[in-house]
Amino acid sequence: DQQVKQNSPSLSVQEGRISILNCDYTNSMFDYFLWYKKYPAEGPTFLISISSIKDKNEDGRFTVFLNKSAKHLSLHIVPSQPGDSAVYFCAARGIQGAQKLVFGQGTRLTINP
């Protein structure tokens, strides 16, 4: 069973517009969520995170929103830039399994000029 799901394998957005990447989870014990960005032939790099006690966290062009009742989080990128083209993974961590991250399948974001 997939505890963290990214239902959109790919997303295409025009440069300068907003990119919205979505992630759903099923385990109510998850209390910390992260987004990673991955370029081809490189490892994932940490982008932004949010604790379950918050509903929003912002870092420059990147904002993550958390809706605990819906078990849903989203990553907003505004404005989108060509360098944002990458695969984005959401990941979740629970208190009891704090060492373990559970990843979604990833969404490939393409920013078109």
Partner 1 sequence: NAGVTQTPKFQVLKTGQSMTLQCAQDMNHNSMYWYRQDPGMGLRLIYYSASEGTTDKGEVPNGYNVSRLNKREFSLRLESAAPSQTSVYFCATRTGTSPQHFGDGTRLSIL
Token code pair at residue 85: 């083209």
Binding segment (CB under 8 A) for partner 1, from list 12-20, 38-46, 68-76, 78-86: 38-46
Q: Are 63 and 71 in contact (CB under 8 A)?
A: no
Shortest CB 16 distance to partner 1, Å: 29
Q: By CB under 8 A, is residue 30 in contact with partner 1?
A: no
Shortest CB 79 distance to partner 1, Å: 25
Q: Which residue has the tokens 């060509």?
A: 82
Q: Taking CA 20 as the corner, what is the angle to CA 16 and CA 24, rounded to the nearest 5 degrees?
A: 170
Q: By CB under 8 A, is residue 8 in contact with partner 1?
A: no
Distance CA 67, CA 108 (A): 23
Distance CA 73, CA 108 (A): 17
Of 2 and 14, which CB lies nearer to partner 1 in the complex structure? 2
Report the residue from 49, 57, 74, 110 that binds partner 1 according to the rule CB under 8 A: 49
Pairing between strand 30-38 and 86-94?
antiparallel
Q: By CB under 8 A, is residue 82 in contact with partner 1?
A: no
Site residues, partner 1 (CB under 8 A): 4, 6, 9, 34, 36, 41-46, 49, 89, 91, 99-106
